[in-house]
Amino acid sequence: MPTIVSVDDSTVPGEGSSRLLLLVSSDNKHIVVEEDIMSRSRFISKQVEGFEATSQRHAILLPFSSFVLNKVIEYCSHYRGYYLLEDDPDAAPPGRSPVREWDQEFLDVDRNMLLRIIKAAHYLEIKSLVGSCARAIADMIRGKTTEEMREILGVENDFTPEEEHSPSSKCTG
């Protein structure tokens, strides 16, 4: 569950032509961002709807670092005002995310960062970013053997001998 705390008015910039949100990262960095930018996040949108019911100002505490949060904001800023098919609830199912050149460059980061971004995108309910990250991770393991996949993603073979040699694993064509 997200943590919402009341904040002093002075923490949030004053009202202007566009509404501003205060996002607080897990390393306690306060990041002010325009609501329009973050409207791609269904999670943030739902939070903002909740705010409107009260007159109190709020900050949204998020369970990831400012570094990751800034990357997500960069993504949302880039696609500000764009319609992305995957963000549509009726859009194509997973596995069909389109290849976007900008996304490929944006996600050209190390494995752990990529995993942090996808987790944050999932938390914030940004389907298009989840899709692009998932595609990037799938590309990392494309054409690799099982052993290579383990090495790339930092996992060990933890099967027992019986599990490893189960009958269904013998269909190699």
Starting from the edge strand earliest in sequence, which strands make up the sheet with 3-6, in order?
Answer: 3-6, 58-61, 20-24, 30-34
Q: Output 42 or 58, the one with its CB closest to other proteins.
A: 42
Tokens at residue 151, please? 């090495």
Per-residue contact string for residues 112-151; x = within reach of other proteins by CB under 8 A: x--xx-xx--x-------xx--xx-xxx-xxxxxx--xx-
Q: Is 71 in the site for other proteins (CB under 8 A)?
A: no
Judged by CB under 8 A, does residue 13 bind other proteins? no
Is residue 23 helix, strand or coil? strand
HEC assignment per residue over 71-101: HHHHHHHHCCCCCCHHHCCCCCCCCCCCCCH
Give the nearest distance from C-beta 43 to other proteins in angstroms.
Answer: 14
Per-residue binding letters, 49-68, with other proteins (x by CB under 8 A): --------------------
- Applying CB under 8 A, among 9, 15, 90, 101 the residue interacting with other proteins is 101
How many residues in the shown chain lie near other proteins by CB under 8 A?
47
| Least distance to other proteins, CB of residue 145, Å | 7
Residue 89 within binding range of other proteins, rule CB under 8 A: no
Q: Which residues of 113-138 are buried (b: 16+ CB within 10 A; e: fewer)?
A: ebebbbebbebbbbbbbbbbbbbbbe
Amino acid at 142: R
Q: Which among 151, 144, 118 has a CA at the least distance from the CA of 132?
A: 118
Among residues 32 and 138, whose Cβ is nearest to other proteins? 138
**Which of residues 15 and 158 has its CB atom nearest to other proteins in the complex?**
158
CA angle 171–172–173, rounded 5-degree value: 95
Binding site for other proteins (CB under 8 A): 93-95, 97, 99, 101, 104, 111-112, 115-116, 118-119, 122, 130-131, 134-135, 137-139, 141-146, 149-150, 153-164, 168-173
